Structure 1
Amino acid sequence: MDWYVIDAVEVAYERTKRCLFEPFDLWKWVKLAIILMLVGGGSGHGGNSFNSFSNSMDSDYGSGYGSGYGSDYNPLDSIGDTFDSIFSAAVMAIIALVLFLIIIFMYVSSVMEFVLVESLVSNSVKFWEYTRHFLGKGFQLFIIRIAALLLSLLVLAVLLLPFVLLFGMPSGDYFWLSFIGGMMLVIFLVIIFAVIASVFGSFISMSIPIALYNNVGVLSAIMEVLRKFKLDWQQIVVYWVGRAVLGIIVGIAALIVMMLAILVTLLPFLIVDGILYLLLSLVLSGSEWIVLVPFILVEVILFIIVMALVSMPFGAFLKYHMLSFVEKWYLEAGIPFDQGIDLKA
């Protein structure tokens, strides 16, 4: 029996080489690096117990000592309350902004999943054209991811429930034994949850080319993958194991290459910065950082670009591997490799 996860390695390697090096196109590398980066892809009881306790004590003392005691007014209290209100509003605004940016990024990431697949299959990176074309399917994937996120938060809350119960228990002879047991149970459940999340993520990844090239909805594509899984689950189980091993190997290779890139990039930057700092210190004597900081910001941007370009081939290879596996495992997917990356010139 042929295991598709193994057969797909050589095919993915050839397709990656053909896409990125035959011929080499720096602008294609930049666009694919941007796509892969984008793929990446409240509380509120309204106060605190100390303030509530203080207010209640003030009220009791006021009634006990007469009306004159309770009528004392300190203007600093109102200033402090106003400051607390402004601070709370600012924190809530920042939290809302962060949540909004996370939601926007999740939607962009969902669209870029389709853009990446189409770019690799067709061997033609048309960033804006593909983005406009896949806004609808990206929104479907976004909704599914939001639902999965909410379900994950619910499961996380259930996992944290033992800690809440343990912390609410009075300390005793068996407290630490119960605490350690609860910790082990939560760690075990978190591992199980991570495995289930990875499995569901793999089903979503495999459904993207099916939704794309069978012209069906993302949810329908996921159901098709699950139906195929029931018929041929052995290939998928071996795929999960093989992808884990392949991910470790690719991760080590990527780490080595990125470390070399860091040395090649940072050493010249440090030498240039050192020389520039010495020259500026002779001329400006104390204000050299005003000139040096913009240079450092430019270097940071260049460093990020270099890291994205260096890591991009590894991400493209893993995506090609997944697509090559789906091509063999789910023949009905109809991935048109022969019209793009496999097209003979």
Structure 2
Amino acid sequence: MALSALESVEDAFDGTKRLLWPFARGIWFRLAAVMLFVGAGGFSPTSFLNFGMFPGDGTGEPPGQQPEPQPGGPDPGALTPELTPELLVFLVLFVLLAVAVFLLWQIASAVIEFVFVESLGAEAVKLREFFTGNVRPGVRLFLFRTGVSLLVFGGLVVALLAVGILVGGWPVTQWDEDAILALVFLGIPLLLGATFVLGLVLGLTTTFVVPTMLAEDRGVFSAWRRFLGVVADEPVEILVYLVINFVLGIAIGLATGALTLALLIVVGVPALLVSLPVLLTVGVTPLGGTVLLVVWLAAGVLFFVASLLIAVPFQTFRRYYALLVLGDVDADLDVVPTTRAAVRADGGEEPFDDEAGTDAGDGDGDDPGGER
């Protein structure tokens, strides 16, 4: 008997083509919004952090060495900011706001996972309807992700601290170089292992447990128990899926990287061609600065949106692949029955609306099954 994990690759391609072609701008741009939350178009905030050559004041001076005051200039010590009660309140409020925004973003990302799966099953991207209907399971998913992450990395920290105490004693201030080196050499493989385990658990949760929650209206832990039963019944299918999905991930990463680089050239070169004449003719003036700001801001927005659109077909294909495999190994967990029947009957070439008597793609760039 052929493995679904092998056969479903082509079916996932046909399902992706069925949903996204002919081009319907409504579906594409709504799925691009989904990509923003499911990780395809994100960025790392740490990339904006800058560090000085030495820890301390960030001026590049070694610790303990202060700059000499300039003759006639102010005393450097007089320029040290004072931590006033007002500044302290502002800093606390800013941190609380940043934490609140981060948590809301993570909750929204968890809810969008359900929106993505439900959209693929319905072959229509209805953001408002699917979002409001999945807030509760999305919050449960967020709590599960947070709890597992804290458990894994919290356990890692406790394990390293225990090893450090055994090697270097207590308190940690008396640890010598040998204790620190032992922690580094032990911590690197432990960190890699913890990251792998966490990624595997959260990845399986996203690809298999989320549709299980949708199919049978379960909570996260109940859906995990249900999925583990599937793994016990079909271990070869799941193992083959993991291997093929890993290979597909590498190929998709290379393809999206190449397309993103090409997009950067396509967007960046015209912006540069506009910027250079402005600098040469107007110079660094308020007018020139305004023009450059507008040009590069527009280029940045265009690049960001286009990079999300690039991710749409690739991420749709990968999610269809997982959903098709899950529905094959357990028919009760099939959340894409319409797509499955279509691609295995005619390759999904002509999605057809029986009630309207028209093709799903009407050729004018809109999608009648989408959100209005």
Give the shorter-chain TM-score range: 0.7 to 0.9
Determine the structure 2 residue equivalent to 1:268: 270
Q: Which runs of 5+ in 1 are unaligned?
A: 42-79
Q: Deviations over 1:224-265 (max 9, x none)?
A: 001222232232233222222221111111111111111112
State the Cα distance separating 1:95 from its structure 2 match. 2.6
d(CA) in 1 for partners of 2:14, 2:324: 11
Change (3 A) 1:315 1:334: closer
State the Cα distance separating 1:88 from its structure 2 match. 4.2
TM-score, L = length of structure 1: 0.78
d(CA) in 2 for partners of 1:91, 1:293: 29
Question: Conserved in 2, the CA contact under 8 Å of 1:33 and 1:308?
Answer: yes
Question: Conserved in 2, the CA contact under 8 Å of 1:35 and 1:112?
Answer: yes
Q: How many residues align?
A: 302
RMSD over equivalenced CA pairs, Å: 2.9
Letter in structure 1 aligned against 2:197: I
Change (3 A) 1:153 1:88: farther
Q: Which runs of 5+ in 2 are unaligned?
A: 41-79, 343-347, 353-372
d(CA) in 1 for partners of 2:96, 2:136: 25
Alignment of 1:99-110 (within 5 A): 99-110=99-110
1:310 partnered with 2:294: no
d(CA) in 2 for partners of 1:138, 1:170: 44
Q: Deviations over 1:91-111 (max 9, x none)?
A: 333332222112101110111
Alignment of 1:288-307 (within 5 A): 288-307=288-307
Q: Deviations over 1:193-248 (max 9, x none)?
A: 12211221133120111211223333322220012222322322332222222211
Change (3 A) 1:86 1:130: same
Change (3 A) 1:277 1:123: farther
State the Cα distance separating 1:181 from its structure 2 match. 3.6
Runs of 4+ in 1 over 6 A off after TM superposition: none
Percent identical pairs in the alignment equals: 25
Secondary structure of 2:213 counterpart: helix
Determine the structure 2 residue equivalent to 1:223: 225
d(CA) in 2 for partners of 1:125, 1:170: 57
Question: Conserved in 1, the CA contact under 8 Å of 2:324 and 2:340?
Answer: no
Alignment of 1:124-163 (within 5 A): 124-161=124-161
Letter in structure 2 aligned against 1:314: F
Question: Conserved in 2, the CA contact under 8 Å of 1:327 and 1:333?
Answer: yes
Q: Deviations over 1:68-127 (max 9, x none)?
A: xxxxxxxxxxxx996255544443333322221121011101110011111122221111
Change (3 A) 1:322 1:131: same
d(CA) in 1 for partners of 2:244, 2:189: 23
Determine the structure 1 residue equivalent to 2:31: 32
d(CA) in 2 for partners of 1:336, 1:316: 13
Question: Conserved in 1, the CA contact under 8 Å of 2:271 and 2:295?
Answer: no
Determine the structure 2 residue equivalent to 1:252: 254
d(CA) in 2 for partners of 1:170, 1:115: 50
d(CA) in 1 for partners of 2:282, 2:164: 58
State the Cα distance separating 1:329 from its structure 2 match. 2.1
Change (3 A) 1:286 1:33: closer
Question: Conserved in 1, the CA contact under 8 Å of 2:3 and 2:237?
Answer: yes
Letter in structure 2 aligned against 1:192: G
Change (3 A) 1:278 1:11: same
d(CA) in 2 for partners of 1:147, 1:170: 31
Change (3 A) 1:2 1:195: farther
d(CA) in 1 for partners of 2:285, 2:145: 55
State the Cα distance separating 1:273 from its structure 2 match. 2.5
d(CA) in 2 for partners of 1:4, 1:340: 12
Q: Deviations over 1:262-285 (max 9, x none)?
A: 11121122112223444544xx96
d(CA) in 2 for partners of 1:153, 1:97: 25
Change (3 A) 1:37 1:208: same
Secondary structure of 2:83 counterpart: helix
Q: Higher helix proportion, which one?
A: 1
State the Cα distance separating 1:34 from its structure 2 match. 0.7
209, 232, 245: which one aligns with 1:207: 209
Letter in structure 1 aligned against 2:271: F
- Point out the more displaced range, 239-248 or 271-280: 271-280
Determine the structure 1 residue equivalent to 2:72: none
Structure label with greater radius of gyration: 1
Question: Conserved in 2, the CA contact under 8 Å of 1:39 and 1:108?
Answer: no
Determine the structure 2 residue equivalent to 1:188: 189
d(CA) in 2 for partners of 1:96, 1:303: 31
Change (3 A) 1:130 1:81: same
d(CA) in 1 for partners of 2:246, 2:122: 27
